[in-house]
Amino acid sequence: MKIIRKYKEDRTEGKIIFPDDSFIFCLERSWEGNKPNISCVPEGVYLVDRDKKGRFRLYKIREGQIPTRTDIEFHAGNNALLHSNGCILPCMFIKNGLGVSSIEACNKILDWYQDDSFVLEIVKYNPIKHGKWKD
């Protein structure tokens, strides 16, 4: 799975791209120097595991990969500032800075990966490399 991102002043908007090039979107908090519970996840490559014990019980970035950060989960929510403490909020699309149909988007990730772990790559959006941002 890959997330390409656009950084906004008050949030980070991303496009989650599945192996077949289908996609959904996601919201995170803005980049704040990787501060725990405040910042979006740093760009990089991470292992993500199915999480059946955490708060939201969907998927979680494997511990120890991001210095000073723990419990980074994928979970439902539509407002980066109100619903994310440094986590990733999947959604079907973004309208006026808010995620729409987040539970449906979480279910799409579950459909793809079920109980399996997967590799997540997070990169900054580059129109030359990634083409036009299609909503």
State pLDDT tens for residues 11-24.
Answer: 999 999 999 999 99
Question: What would the mean pLDDT of 80-97 be, rounded to a whole number?
Answer: 95
Secondary structure of 41-57 in the HEC alphabet?
CCCEEEEEEECCCCCCC
- How do residues 104-127 score in pLDDT, each as one tens digit? 999 999 999 999 999 999 999 988
Give the list of residues 6+ apart from residue 82 with CB closer than 8 angstroms, or none: none
Average pLDDT, rounded, for the chain:
94
Q: How many degrees, rounded to 5, is the angle at CA 117 between CA 114 and CA 119?
A: 120
| Nearest partner of 30 among 62, 61, 46, 6, judged by Cα | 6
Dihedral class, residue 109 (left if φ above 0, else alpha if ψ from -120 to 50, else beta):
alpha
Instruction: Tell how far CA 67 is from the center of its chain.
Output: 18
